[in-house]
């Protein structure tokens, strides 16, 4: 793995930064030349609040929200986001309402599910889906499928990073995109030019990190 690590900052809020490792990485769906470290934005209380304020902006004045469905360990951001939606000044349309935070679980087949005692927070409720990153679209697709099954009404999708916003049918509000990262690309394993050049994989991207090979 290359030792090259660099950061990019959100122009309007420099405290929000994204750390990037260069190398040859794989997930269950694709190969990549970069690993994006988003953990500090999800676990540091001050940064998570800053992120939440930015992600809440598109919804403050116009979107009624009942529930924020948090995936990929975004619960801290989700809670701060709910707080901002409820108390974001005179323009906050949700002022005085209740907003709930829900995290789905996965069954043995990796299908998303909602516990029975929480399904009332989904059915016929206005929902924002909050994820860490959008790359292949698999996570978002699964979320929309199960929320539809439980009768939820998705009014927004937010992410810290969105790889290819121009390729997606639904609008996703994100802090960073692939356009912010020079040379960022995802490849199908059989079409990966890094593999074809003879460079071996450096690491496997897993939940909230990577494992060196």
CATH class of 5-212: alpha beta
Give me the phi and psi of 199, to 5 degrees please.
-80, 125
pLDDT of residue 108: 63
Contact 7, 18 (CB under 8 A): yes
Name the pairing type of β-strands 126-134 and 67-70.
parallel
Cα 71–Cα 75–Cα 103 angle in degrees, nearest 5: 50
Q: Which two tokens stand for residue 8?
A: 């990019």
The per-residue DSSP string of 37-72 comes to E-HHHHH-HHHHHHHHHHHHGGGTTT---SEEEE-S
Angle of helix 75-87 relative to helix 45-56, nearest 10 degrees, comes to 50
- The pTM for the full model equals 0.91
- What residues contact 19, with CB distance under 8 A and at least 6 apart? 5, 6, 7, 36, 37, 40
Name the pairing type of β-strands 100-102 and 67-70.
parallel
Domain ranges of the chain: 5-212
Mean pLDDT by 10 residues, the chain (213 residues): 80 94 91 94 96 96 96 96 88 90 81 86 96 86 89 96 83 94 90 94 87 90
Query: What digits encode the pLDDT tens for the residues 91-130?
Result: 789 998 999 999 988 776 667 888 889 899 999 999 999 9
CA distances from 165 to 95, 124, 140, 157 (A): 30, 28, 13, 12
Q: Which two tokens stand for residue 208?
A: 């909230």
Burial class (CB in 10 A: 0-12, 13-18, 19+), 195: middle
Question: Residue 127: enclosing H or E segment and its boundaries?
Answer: strand 126-134
Report d(CA 115, CA 150) in Å as an integer.
Answer: 11
């Amino acid at each position: 793995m290359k030792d090259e690590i660099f950061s990019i900052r959100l122009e309007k809020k420099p405290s929000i930064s994204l750390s990037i490792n260069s190398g040859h990485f794989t997930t269950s769906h694709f190969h990549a030349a970069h690993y994006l470290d988003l953990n500090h934005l999800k676990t540091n209380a001050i940064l998570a609040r800053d992120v939440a304020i930015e992600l809440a902006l598109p919804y403050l004045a116009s979107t009624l929200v009942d529930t924020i469905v948090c995936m990929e360990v975004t619960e801290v951001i989700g809670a701060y986001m709910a707080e901002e939606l409820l108390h974001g000044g005179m323009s906050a349309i949700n002022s005085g309402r209740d907003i709930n935070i829900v995290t789905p679980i996965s069954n043995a087949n990796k299908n998303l599910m909602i516990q029975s005692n929480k399904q009332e927070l989904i059915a016929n409720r206005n929902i924002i889906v909050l994820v860490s990153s959008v790359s292949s679209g698999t996570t978002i697709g699964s979320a929309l499928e199960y929320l539809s099954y439980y009768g939820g009404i998705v009014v927004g999708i937010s992410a810290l990073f969105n790889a290819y916003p121009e390729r997606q049918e639904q609008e996703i509000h994100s802090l960073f995109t692939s356009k912010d990262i020079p040379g960022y690309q995802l490849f199908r394993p059989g079409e990966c030019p890094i593999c074809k050049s003879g460079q071996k994989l450096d690491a496997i991207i897993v939940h909230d990190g990577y494992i060196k090979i």
